[in-house]
Structure 1
Amino acid sequence: MDIKEIQNLIKFVAKSGASEVKLEMEDIKITIKTGSEKTETTIVQAAPIASAPQAVNIIPTQTLEASASSKKESEDAKYITVKSPIIGTFYRKPAPDKPNFVEVGSEISSGDVVCVIEAMKLFNEIESEISGKIVKVLVDDSSPVEFDQPLFLVDPS
């Protein structure tokens, strides 16, 4: 299990609202405890039986997330973010047998439908407020989204 998978697991647990999650695999044990505003992670990794002992360097998660997010923010600063106006489930298509509303590289205009968010059995079409080219889709299809969560990056030029 690499550090990226561990970070994703921490984010998932924090969003799920669980107070404690323990994961034990062959050579690794992970315990994630969440509090009101703090996430504590304990990682214990045993050396493989057949090989020589290996040192495990554990870097605080907040440091990794901060450096990764600051690097990502500087790269994405030239793009405009399309954010979710509501809480619900994000869908890239109008129906399972239909094509996606937009793909990476799609040109969009103000008022174009870019996705659908289902909230309380109502499917709300989300329209773009800007014109440009879709650079990145930030949410997986059929994933829950929060209010003001970034959905797409758009290059306005």
Structure 2
Amino acid sequence: MDMDIKQIQDLIRFVSKSGVNEVSIEQQDFKITIKTNQPQTGVVTTTIPAASAENTVVPSITVTTPVVTAVAPQAEDTSKYITVKSPMIGTFYRSASPEKPLLVNVGDEIKGGDVLCIIEAMKLFNEIESEVSGRIVKILVDNASPVEYDQPLFVVDPA
């Protein structure tokens, strides 16, 4: 099992967001352990045996990620609004690809079954469909941002 640095970084992000304390993957010639001992910090140790002692590589990477907090709008009577939340951990995208138009914008009318965004998790792109009808009042997450499970994504006025 050969992992490139991008796959290792994706794995670090996934583990740090999942709330798991430690993940260890071990193959015959490859071992990776990711530990999250402190909030929002992942430590990775990778050992790859080489043909001779001169070529042995033991990199250690420490990654610290910022904490992102979404605050609900404090405007007029927001009690009638419905919050659409993320069903999974991943990366939030507002369009199917960079050259495609945004799926929804503030002010758009939506109905149940409409695709609101895409969340990429472990190289899988998941279309997130609306379960409510109404008008998009606010989009709470920036494009290409990491999201947590149950994190608010959209505020919808069902009226």
Where on the TM-score scale, by shorter chain, does this alignment land: which range? 0.5 to 0.7
Q: Distance in 1 between matches of 2:40 and 2:81?
A: 31
* Match among 135, 152, 156 for residue 154 of structure 1: 156
Residue equivalent to 2:146: 144
Q: Deviations over 1:94-146 (max 9, x none)?
A: 00001100000000000000000000000000000000000000000000000
Under a length normalisation based on structure 2, what TM-score does the superposition of the two structures give?
0.54
Q: Distance in 2 between matches of 1:70 and 1:109?
A: 22
Amino acid paired to 1:141:
N
Q: Distance in 2 between matches of 1:71 and 1:146?
A: 19
In the TM superposition, 1:4-153 aligns within 5 A as 17-18=40-41, 72=74, 75-153=77-155
Residue equivalent to 2:57: none
Amino acid paired to 2:100:
K
Amino acid paired to 1:155:
D
Q: Distance in 2 between matches of 1:151 and 1:135?
A: 11
Secondary structure of the residue that 1:111 maps to in structure 2? coil
Deviation at 1:78, TM superposition (A): 1.9
* Greater share of residues in helix: 1
Q: Which runs of 5+ in 2 are unaligned?
A: 1-38, 42-70
Q: Distance in 2 between matches of 1:136 and 1:70?
A: 9
Q: Distance in 1 between matches of 2:132 and 2:74?
A: 22
Q: Distance in 2 between matches of 1:71 and 1:92?
A: 20
Instruction: Give the 3 Å change call, closer, same or farther, for CA 100–84 of structure 1 in structure 2.
Output: same
Amino acid paired to 1:112:
D
Q: Deviations over 1:29-64 (max 9, x none)?
A: xxxxxxxxxxxxxxxxxxxxxxxxxxxxxxxxxxxx
CA RMSD of aligned residues (A): 2.5
Under a length normalisation based on structure 1, what TM-score does the superposition of the two structures give?
0.55
Secondary structure of the residue that 2:125 maps to in structure 1? strand
Q: Which runs of 5+ in 1 are unaligned?
A: 1-15, 19-68
Q: Deviations over 1:68-89 (max 9, x none)?
A: x698287432210010000000
Secondary structure of the residue that 2:155 maps to in structure 1? strand
Identity rate of aligned residues, in percent?
64
